[in-house]
Each structure stands twice: as structure tokens, then as C-alpha cells.
Amino acid sequence: DPLLLEPATLVASRIRAGKLKSVDVVRAYVKRLEEVNPALNAVTDTRFEEALTEAEEVDRQVAQGAAGSERDQPLLGVPFTVKNTIGVRGCVQDCGSFYSKGRRAPEDAQVVALMRKAGAIPVAISSVPELCLSLECNSVLHGTTCNPYDSNRSPGGSSGGEASLLGAAASVIGLGTDLAGSIRHPAGNCGVFGHKPTHGIVSRHGLYPDRGEAVGKFSTPGPMCRYAADLLPMLRVMAGENAPRLALDSPVDLKKLKVFYLVDDGNKYIGRLQKKFSQAVLDAVACLEPFCEARPRQVSFEELPRASRIWMATVRSGAPPPFAEVIKNYTGKLNPLTELALKLVGRSHHTVAAIMVALREREKDFTDPARIADLTAQGQRFVRKLEELLQDGDAVLVMPAAGFGAPGYHGQWLTNMDNVNYTCLFNTAMVPATACPLYLDKRGLPVGVQVVAARYKDRLCLAVARELASKFGGWRAPGTRTSA
């Protein structure tokens, strides 16, 4: 259906001009969702009837000349999907947890309310791994979500259902959250765009579970979409009253852009990247180099091989409740070894991924105050290096968004637990970062990069994303045999 293949902002402008009916667009996406979800298992709840009613109201307002302006309602009549952890009033919001089975959002999250105010219409809720702590998107409640480019592979996590629907053209724009790479990792796996905003810009109100400030400050909602042109309008909407802090309307002169890049440090703790990911970084840099007055420069960070440990220690330094208690919704404390035994005989209410997080939490790096302090200090050193690198003018860092083997086969995360090393430290640094698809490999799997900028310079990431999309074509439909 051609209606599925247009950017959200273009769809909205056509609806506003009376050239397209919102109800027709919503029907097209409802039909697509019904077609692909049996294969993807990426939807945990729907609100199709309500969405169609809301679309009819949009069309009525357009006919009466009462629709909002493009500035006020840039997403007028456009359907969108929402990650399970983000509240849509009356819809399932259980975070894939057995102990939250049947829970529904009591109200719209602040970011959903802002999307509605901008004219967008929520149509479905997308799947997540249990408590959003895995690169594999599965849960006891909702099962396993598949990658639209290969159903034997995972879309990643934790915004895996969202990325899967976007990659399958069952959604054009969606809302995700990112705690350690949870937007960028699945976006890269599913060939779509995903932006982690500067922390503190987009409200976390209405997210579930509420992890408290000690953990929550490292997480942020962000836009996910198929077309790079939709990133900036979505971010402006989602930022609400904080949008002016990002100066999104300030033009970006690519000639003044300073490009730094990281290909692969080759450390054994991460595992060498597949050649295609290293090449993608070089291809992206080669695309940007003709615009830049300064020559791109390769960099490295000695902290990356320990990034996941640094991240976890930094989170633990705030003394949040143990995950072994969180996983049981504070009804007790999980014993991971006992739970693994129960899993073997089919009596566990948890995924292996969640159990392994509780097990890893017991390691000395995360229980010994001296070890925690040392790893946290390493993280602070990384942040200082990154700030020094990026604060000098308009600078960006181009690098991989995921480690070896992405997108992995179902369960493969167990052998690649440090794949978040390429994403998680940018959460502790609280800087913006964008996953950008470049092309498909010879097996038809997405290959892309991550673009990082200094705090409040999200516009640099988004400008680079648009340029890369213009050069490489952006999202490509599953089954397109366009090789690198």
C-alpha cells in the first residue's frame, strides 16, 4: 500500500490539505499490523476502533477548517505505535513482567499526551523483554518477538517490538526508551532510525516501572521512525516546553562539522566486529568528509571494553533496589541459581535474560564498594574525554551501534552480553545519539552506524542522519536484496 511508504510529516501535510483522509491512513496501518504481527509477535495490545474514531474526528476538523497549523500539529492524523513501558491510557503496560500481568496504564504518559496534542493517533502497543533488560525481545507473558528481516533473529531490545513494527512498515513513527542502548540497538537491527535525546529533555512521567531517579536518570524516551525527516519534528513534539533548549531550528552547516570516528578497538572482551560494521563506519565518514573543512579523525576509548561493567557499577552507585527484588515486583527476592533450576523444568515465571541480570548483579564488581567506586571513576573519566572531544565546535562521533553478530539469532545474546558496550556509556554521559541505517548486507540484514554529539546538540545527530539517509537511502523494505 503506497500509504505505508511516506514519511509521517508528508502524510500529515496531505491530511491537513484535504488530499488524504486520516481514516484511510489508519486503516492501512491497521491492515498491515494484522498482516505482519502473526509472524513478528511484536504487538501486546491494540486500540484500532478508538484510533479509527479519532481519525474520523481529524477528518471532520479538516473539513470544517478547524485543524491545527503545521507548527501546532505537525503529525496531524498520523498513526503511531508505543513501547509497552510508555503509558497509553487503558492499554496494556506490564513491561513483560509476570508480576504485572493485566496491568493497564491509568493515564497517558506525558510524551504520549504531547504526541496526541500534535495530532498523532496511537494505534498499538509494542513488545519488550522482561523489565526491558535484555538484547533479546521476549517475555513469559508475550513470547518472543522476531526481526522482520529474518524471523530466526531477534530485533534486539529493549524497544524490540517497536523496531520490528517500524522495519516491517507496520508503523511509520513510534516511541521507545533507552537505558543502555534500548532504542539504538533494535533500531540498528531492524534498519530504522532511533534517537536517544539529551537526557532530561523528554519527560519520563508515565513510564512503567518507575525505577526511581538513581536508575531513571540514565533512561530517556526517544523517537523511532522509518524516515530521517521525521526525527526532528518528533523530537520537537516530545520535548514539549524543553524544545527551545535544543535549538532545533538552528541551521547546521556541515562544512563546520568536525567528524570523529571509532571503527573497532578489537578488544577480546567485546569481540572483533564483523567487517560489515567497521566498513559501515568508514562508508559513513566517507560520505560526510566532502562537506567538512576539517579532516575526519579516528579515535578510541580505553574504557569501551569494560563499558557494560562501568555502566552497571555507575547505576549501582546510586543504591537502587536490587534487581533481584525488582524482578519479583518487591514481593520477595529472587535467587538466580534456584530460578535457573526452575527454568530447566518449566516452573519459572522469568526469562533466562532477566535471571542472568540478577545473577550478574551478585558479582564483586557490583557489590564491593571499592570496585564500584573504581568502575564509576572510569566512567567519569570516559565522560570527561567525550566532553572534551565533542564540545569544541560542531563535532560528532560516528561509530557502530552494536557489537559482534547483530542482529543475533534468538538466544544468541548469551554469548554476546557485552554488545551494549557500544551504546551504554552514552547513557551515563547523558548525550544524544542516533542510530542510522545505511544499507542491507548480502543476507538482506540491516547495517548501520551510531552518531553521537555533545549534550543539547541533538540537531547535529539529526542533520547527519538526514545526510546519511540522502546518500544511502535510509530504510529498505525486508526482502530488498541491496548489498553493501
One digit per residue, the tens of pLDDT, for the chain of length 484 reads 999 999 999 999 999 999 999 999 999 999 999 999 999 999 999 999 999 999 999 999 999 999 999 999 999 999 999 999 999 999 999 999 999 999 999 999 999 999 999 999 999 999 999 999 898 999 999 999 999 999 999 999 999 999 999 999 999 999 999 999 999 999 999 999 999 999 999 999 999 999 889 899 999 999 999 999 999 999 999 999 999 999 999 999 999 999 999 998 656 555 556 788 999 999 999 999 999 999 999 999 999 989 999 999 999 999 999 999 999 999 999 999 999 999 999 999 999 999 999 999 999 999 999 999 999 999 999 999 999 999 988 999 999 998 766 788 888 766 566 788 999 999 999 999 999 999 999 999 999 999 999 999 999 999 999 999 999 999 999 988 655 5
Q: Which CATH number do you get for residue 104?
A: 3.90.1300.10
Q: Give the list of residues 6+ apart from residue 356 with CB closer than 8 angstroms, or none.
A: 336, 414, 417
The whole-number pLDDT of residue 454 equals 98
The answer to whether 288 and 257 have CB atoms below 8 angstroms apart is yes
Q: Is residue 148 part of a domain?
A: yes
Sign of CA dihedral 54, 57, 59, 61: negative
Q: Could you list the active site residues? A: 83, 158, 182
Q: Is residue 46 part of a domain?
A: yes
Q: Is residue 417 part of a domain?
A: yes
Number of residues in the chain? 484
Domain extent at residue 105: 2-253+400-472
Domain count, the chain: 1
The whole-number pLDDT of residue 272 equals 56
The whole-number pLDDT of residue 483 equals 52
Amino acid letter, 304: L
The whole-number pLDDT of residue 229 equals 98
The whole-number pLDDT of residue 412 equals 78
The answer to whether 183 and 283 have CB atoms below 8 angstroms apart is no
Query: Against a cut of 0.95, is the pTM above it?
Result: yes
Q: Is residue 149 part of a domain?
A: yes
The answer to whether 437 and 191 have CB atoms below 8 angstroms apart is yes
Q: Is residue 183 part of a domain?
A: yes
Q: Is residue 127 part of a domain?
A: yes
Q: Is residue 420 part of a domain?
A: yes
CA distances from 81 to 19, 166, 283 (A): 24, 9, 32
Alpha-carbon dihedral angle through residues 429, 249, 462, 417, given to the nearest 10 degrees: 30
The whole-number pLDDT of residue 419 equals 80
Q: In terms of Cα–Cα distance, which of 5, 121, 4 is closest to 59?
A: 121
* HSE-up (13 A, CA, CB side) for residue 140: 18
Q: Is residue 215 part of a domain?
A: yes
Q: Count Cβ atoms below 10 Å from residue 69 Cβ, excluding itself.
A: 9
